[in-house]
Structure 1
Amino acid sequence: MTSVDLKFFTLLLFPICIGSLGNLSLLCQYVFIYFSGSRSRPTDFILTNLTVANLLVILSRGIPDTMSALGMKDFLNNFGCKLVFYVLMVGKGVSFSTTCLLSVFQAITISPRSTRWTELKVKAIKYIGHCTILFWVLHMLANIRVPMLVSEKTNNENLTNTINYLYCSATTTTQDKNTIFASLSLSHDILWLKLMIWSSGSMVFILYRHKQRTKHIHRYNSSSRTSPETRASQSIFILVCAFVSFYALSSITYIWFSIYDRSAWWLVKTSALTNACFPTASPFILMTREHCVCRCMWKK
């Protein structure tokens, strides 16, 4: 193992261990709440799916890259490569869609108490489960072509249309097909990003108006605390900001992949780190802001 591989191993081991423990801890909390009979929030089901998707992303990309940095070679066969990258892409897609759903649902939850918004809240709660299941099915179908492009590591390093991940190889499609799929993927991402930005902006606006209306109350009540809805909205807003930031980093890496005929070593390693950023930060953003989740576990 070279000194560069050792540095990368150390950098990647941190998000794998910390991210896995954080997501598993959060997942165990929601499972405990469900089986203990405690009253769960509507967002708990969304967050459960988000933590599962984040775990899939961390494990499917982090573990192979870590083993590769340790000097292990040919530890994945053809089927293993196809499965790992398929799970990675499905997990990333579900994490993207679920984060957007979480943001939109919270914006609807804290919206003004009018007849129209009340009806929308009831419908939103009713269809949460259907939406999350639909996300898994859609991303499983949308990424069905991924196994066709991934195979075990090739010994031919002169192929200009192959990305070498050191343990697997990914073949890029022809320019026409690549343009079509890239356009579809980009339009999908732009749609979800627009929804995230709209819902996050709506939450900030609603919370600001609420703060202005209750400012005189807080002046005379020094013991007043932030409501659970406000804490949840703040955590989700921070979560969305983190997602957009890390998504921008990942997009820059993707652009470099498109420019280079063959991926450089540093580019492959950078993509592994950017993929692990959001899944690692996500559970800690939620756990540090939403104290009510932890309280429910100790009340029983």
Structure 2
Amino acid sequence: MDLSSTVMIILFLLQTSIGAPANIFILMAYAHINHTEKTLKPADTILCHLVFANMLGLVTRVIPQIMSDLGLNNIHNDASCKLIIYIYRTSRGVSIGVTSFLSVHQAITLAPSTTKWLSLKSKTKKYLIPYIISFWLSNMLLNPYVLIHIYAPRNGTIPGAHYNLGFCYFKTSESSHDLFYKIIINGYDVFFVGLMLTSSVYILYVLKRHRDQVRYIHSTRQNSKMMAERTAAKNVTTLVSLYVFCFGVDSGILVYSQTLLIVPLLLDHIGLFISSCYALLSPFVIISFNKKIHRRLRFSHKEERIKHINTN
């Protein structure tokens, strides 16, 4: 095992050992909030699904990669390969859609209270759960097609043109059906990334307008409300920016790798690490701006400290 492979294994281990518990903590915190307050805000409901999708993607893609890099290459059969990639592809698509929906929801929340916007705000809140379910269902229905190309190597042989995923292989094809599928999948990604960028630009525009208006407002109550909205909007924009960065770098590496006859393993590992950084870093962004989760974290630390003092 060379130095670059060793470094990537260490990075993947750190990514999983930090990212997975962080995502699980947020889910548990939201479960506690829902239990005590009997309800979650719309944005918190969206974030729950985003965190769950990110955790699934992190666990189902990075952990098998670590096992492969450690030399455990023959523990998967075709069924396990297909299941892992299916869950990963579904969770990845949900993550894109839900992040986009979060930015759209925040943009609508910040929009002026005109008749048109009030109607849209009401519909967004009313159909929140159906919208989120549609992301899960649409990705569950889209991704089975790719499974016919996923397989585990048999007797050490890899027949036909293929793309090495590390622990499994993806059989490449240039048929019209495959080309159509690629257009649909890439179109899905481009549409929702474009939607979250458009929403973020609108959010920034509204924030700038609020900043200009707040100079002439002296009401403490209105200032507090505006500050809360601006803080929430800035944090959503941070999440979107983080996703766009990870998605952009990963897409750039993917496009470049398609121009190569043989894709270096290190390049593939870097692309996977960058794309998984969203699942690693987004929980800390959420914790930093969500006061309820932040209080829950401080309360857990306090309980742990009291328990440690009592045991001593």
Q: TM-score, normalised by structure 1?
A: 0.90
Q: Hey, what does 2:125 align to over in structure 1?
A: 125
**Which whole-Å CA distance do the structure 1 matches of 2:277 and 2:137 have between them?**
25
273-282 vs 43-52, greater mean Cα deviation: 273-282
**Which whole-Å CA distance do the structure 1 matches of 2:125 and 2:219 have between them?**
35
- What's the CA shift string for 1:103-140, capped at 9, x where partnerless? 00010011112222112111100111001111101000
Alignment of 1:55-204 (within 5 A): 55-154=55-154, 159=159, 161-204=161-204
**Which whole-Å CA distance do the structure 2 matches of 1:35 and 1:165 have between them?**
41
Checking the alignment, whether the CA contact within 8 Å between 2:82 and 2:151 is kept in structure 1 is yes
- What's the CA shift string for 1:134-158, capped at 9, x where partnerless? 1101000100112211111355667
**Which whole-Å CA distance do the structure 2 matches of 1:169 and 1:296 have between them?**
43
Q: Hey, what does 1:35 align to over in structure 2?
A: 35
Distance 1:158 1:142, change over 3 A: closer
Checking the alignment, whether the CA contact within 8 Å between 2:60 and 2:88 is kept in structure 1 is yes
Offset, 1:261: 4.1
Alignment of 1:131-280 (within 5 A): 131-154=131-154, 159=159, 161-217=161-217, 227-280=227-280
Identity %: 28
242-251 vs 171-180, greater mean Cα deviation: 171-180
Distance 1:206 1:247, change over 3 A: same
Distance 1:114 1:94, change over 3 A: same
Checking the alignment, whether the CA contact within 8 Å between 2:100 and 2:192 is kept in structure 1 is yes
Q: Hey, what does 1:7 align to over in structure 2?
A: 7
Which ranges in structure 1 are unaligned for 5 or more consecutive residues?
none
**Which whole-Å CA distance do the structure 2 matches of 1:124 and 1:65 have between them?**
39
Q: CA RMSD in A?
A: 2.5
230-239 vs 159-168, greater mean Cα deviation: 159-168
156-165 vs 13-22, greater mean Cα deviation: 156-165
Distance 1:228 1:153, change over 3 A: farther
- What's the CA shift string for 1:196-232, capped at 9, x where partnerless? 12111111111111111112447999x9697332221
Secondary structure of the residue that 1:163 maps to in structure 2? strand
Instruction: Give the total of aligned pairs.
Output: 298
Checking the alignment, whether the CA contact within 8 Å between 2:4 and 2:266 is kept in structure 1 is no
Secondary structure of the residue that 2:151 maps to in structure 1? strand
Which ranges in structure 2 are unaligned for 5 or more consecutive residues?
300-312
The aligned amino acid for 2:241 is C
Checking the alignment, whether the CA contact within 8 Å between 1:153 and 1:164 is kept in structure 2 is no
Checking the alignment, whether the CA contact within 8 Å between 1:29 and 1:294 is kept in structure 2 is no
224-233 vs 68-77, greater mean Cα deviation: 224-233
**Which whole-Å CA distance do the structure 2 matches of 1:282 and 1:39 have between them?**
23
